Each structure stands twice: as C-alpha cells, then as structure tokens.
Structure 1
Amino acid sequence: MTDQLYTTHDISRLLQVDPSTVSKWIDRGILMAFRTPGGHRRVRSTDLRTFLVTHQMPVPEELGSSTVRLLVVDDERPVLDAIKRAFKPHANQVELQTTTSGVEALLLVSEQKPHGMIIDLNMPDIDGIEVCKRIRARKQMEGVRLITMTSNHTPDVVEQSKQAGAVACLAKPLDVTQVMELFRVPLALNTSAARK
C-alpha cells in the first residue's frame, strides 16, 4: 500500500480539529510533514498514524492499522529471540523486524522506514552509538525514534546515547512495557513545553 498524502485541511477534517492545531503539531515537530516545492505541507498516512498512536488518539478507519514498526538490532541471536517472545503479547500494536548487524540496520532503516529502532550498544561491526549518529545525520530519518539498550547501564552510557540522538537508553534484559511507553508518551510535547 502506498503512503497517501494529507494536507493540513484533510487532517483537520479527519480528526475534527482546527487546521491551525495541525499546523502547530507540525511546527513543534510532533507530527512529521514535508513541504512541496510550492511550500504546502503534506503528511504521509504512516506518519499521521504514528502520531495518533503515540499520542493515544483514536485512529480513523481510513488510516488502516495502527501498528508501530520497530527494528531491533543486536548481534546476539538469543537476545533477539527473547525480545521477539517479549513482544508477542503486543503483536497487534507492534510489527517487529530484527537484524544482528549494525551495518545491515543502517540499510534497513532507509528501506523500511520504521517508527523506531532499539539498538544494542555493544556490537562488533559498528556499535550502537555510531548507528545512532549515522541515522541522526540523515535528515529524512529524523522521525525515527532511537532507543539504545545495554547490559552496562550507567549514567555515562545513558548520556552518551542521548548525545548520539537516542530518546532513551534501557537496561538489558529489555522491559517491553518501557518500550511501549516510549511510543505512547508524547516526548516531543514535553520537550517543546520545557523550551518555553
């Protein structure tokens, strides 16, 4: 299914909100949008769906399923298997893809455009911090929510992860409820409120 494009007026009708509210969401960076060469804003249906799921708003039937696409990166296959099992109860909300390679993750993120990534910090080919930095360096990937995970969970490691562009650094073994919360809580709203 190709991504349908919505104008701010389409979204305001669909969600029954004022068009200026939609514009504010876009300006604050909590609803992903792009501008056409003529300067008009357009929102992809997948980005609108992600926004609604993240902010616990009802998803209109027209937008289809409201699953969050996650890419999990860890060089240890047993860890990936355990994460897959942990996410099983959330199968109707989360579509999980996994890879054991940081390099492959960089290729997959461009192809699959997941809503979020969970990245192990300690990997042989390219570590999690470097994966985060490379994704954050790509403008078209700025909407991907990055989460790192590590068995060496210290304040320093958490700080390094955030510096590299991750929204959170979680301890291993991964707590699935924490991950789900990171996709529900409107983090972008909190940060924009803090700036005022």
Structure 2
Amino acid sequence: MADSAQTDFARKKIFTTGEAAQVCKVSQQTIIRCFDSGRLTGFRVPGSKFRRIPREELIRFMNANDIPLDLLEGDVKRILCVDDDPQIIDLFRDLLDGDSRFEVEFCGTGYDAGLLTASFKPHLMLLDYKLPDINGNEVCKRIRSTGDLSSIKVIFISGVIDRAEADSLLTAGADAFLKKPFDIGELMGAVEKHLGIEAHHGNNGSARGG
C-alpha cells in the first residue's frame, strides 16, 4: 500500500491538506495553519471551505522549508529533452512520455532549457549539441556550476560533431554522448543506466537527425 500511495503522490497535480501533510510528514493542522497564513498558497474548492494545493506550490513550500521530496517524487524520474528538431522531439515523446517510470518535459532552445532546469529539476537531460540560440556545451557548463543542479545527468545527442569534440564534451561534464542516427535501444540503455533503473526490453531501431 505504501508503494501505491507513493506512486500516486508522484503523479498527483492537486493535493488536499491531508495529502500535503502526509507528503511533508507534518500534521494536517500545521498545513492548514500555513495555508491560512499565506506561507503555503492554493485555492478553495468553489462552494466549500476545502483547501487545495497545486503540486508546484507544494514543491516550493517543501524546498523553502528543507523538507525532503522523497514521498512526492516516488520512483518516477524526471527527464528534460532539449532539441530543436521536431522529429527528434516526437521520437522522445513516443519513447518516454508513455513510460510510467518517467515524467518528461520538452523544449527546443538553450534559454528554455535553463528555465525548465530550474523549475522542473530533471534527474536527466537529453541535450542536443547544436541549439539555435546557444551551444549545448554552455548549457552543460551552467548546470555543472550550479550547486543544486550539478547532479543532473547529461546525455548529449548530435550528428554534427566528431569523436574528439564528443570527448571534449565528456571532459566538460557530460555523462554520455550518442551520435545521430542513434539506435533506440542504445538511447534507452543510456537513459536507464544513468538513472540507475531496471531496463525495459522491446525498443529497437534507429533515429536520425541533425
């Protein structure tokens, strides 16, 4: 039952005060007091006095009060996919978005990657080397120089750099590099390896891109 509740919390978008109390490991009255004082914001169900707390606000509150996110995260791993090629993004969406092990966000620029990295806090990033506004290597360097983000796993994916450049990316802080066209099984294997999760079988084929 505990594992089931943890999985539910990992996917839940709106929380009752009782659920928020369970996630934060405090009393429900503590959550109610924080809500009523404005320290924890949310909304009331129309026509009632019931309080509801959006997930992003609960995460903000927990981070501000140094409350571990373990119950909220469960076993679900967050992945940020950064690529300006719509076909590659569609491929990532097909592979990852329907997988219950992952929560996935997508973007196509280094600027958006920076914003999402700060708010979404991914466990792993699939990062294109050639982005329209900034070199993917710069995105990686900024992640590695930011304390609370430095543990993010970064897998570079590109078809336009040679082996020496790939080695330089690894030296700069990337955890892995895959060259396009890449094998889907190789991609999933790298994702599972760097997230430390058990492999799922059945993915094969290859994907192309620039």
Structure 2: which 5+ residue stretches go unaligned?
1-14, 26-65, 198-210
CA displacement at 1:103 relative to structure 2 = 0.7
What is the DSSP-based 3-state SS (H/G/I as helix, E as strand, rest coil) of the residue aligned with 1:44?
Answer: coil
Q: Please, which of 125, 130, 141 is the counterpart of residue 138 of structure 2?
A: 130
CA-based RMSD = 2.5
The structure with higher relative contact order (CA 8 Å, sep 6+) is 1
- Normalization by structure 1: what TM-score? 0.59
The answer to whether residue 145 in structure 2 is matched with residue 121 in structure 1 is no
What's the TM-score, normalizing by structure 2?
A: 0.56
Change (3 A) 1:172 1:69: same
Partner secondary structure for residue 96 of structure 1: strand
Is 1:178 the counterpart of 2:190? The answer is: yes
1:94 matched to which residue of 2? Answer: 102
Poorly superposed stretches of 4+, deviation over 4 Å? 1-5
The structure that has the greater radius of gyration is 2
Q: CA deviation at 1:164?
A: 2.2
CA, structure 1 residues 4+162, in 2 after alignment: closer, same or farther (shift >3 Å)? farther
Unaligned runs of 5+ in 1: 6-41, 47-61, 186-196
Q: In structure 1, what is the equivalent of residue 92 of structure 2? A: 83
1:45 shift after superposition: 3.3
Counterparts of 2:135 and 2:107 in 1: how far apart (Å)? 13
Aligned pairs (5 A) from 1:1-196? 4=24, 44-46=68-70, 65-88=74-97, 91-152=99-160, 154-174=162-182, 175-184=187-196
Q: Distance in 2 between matches of 1:136 and 1:70?
A: 17
The answer on whether the counterparts of 2:97 and 2:104 sit within 8 Å (CA) in structure 1 is no
Seen in structure 2, the aligned counterparts of structure 1 residues 85 and 141 have a Cα distance that, compared at 3 Å, is: same
* Paired residue secondary structure (1:70): strand
User: Kindly tell me: are residues 94 and 173 of structure 1, through their superposed partners in 2, closer, same or farther at Cα, counting changes over 3 Å?
Assistant: farther
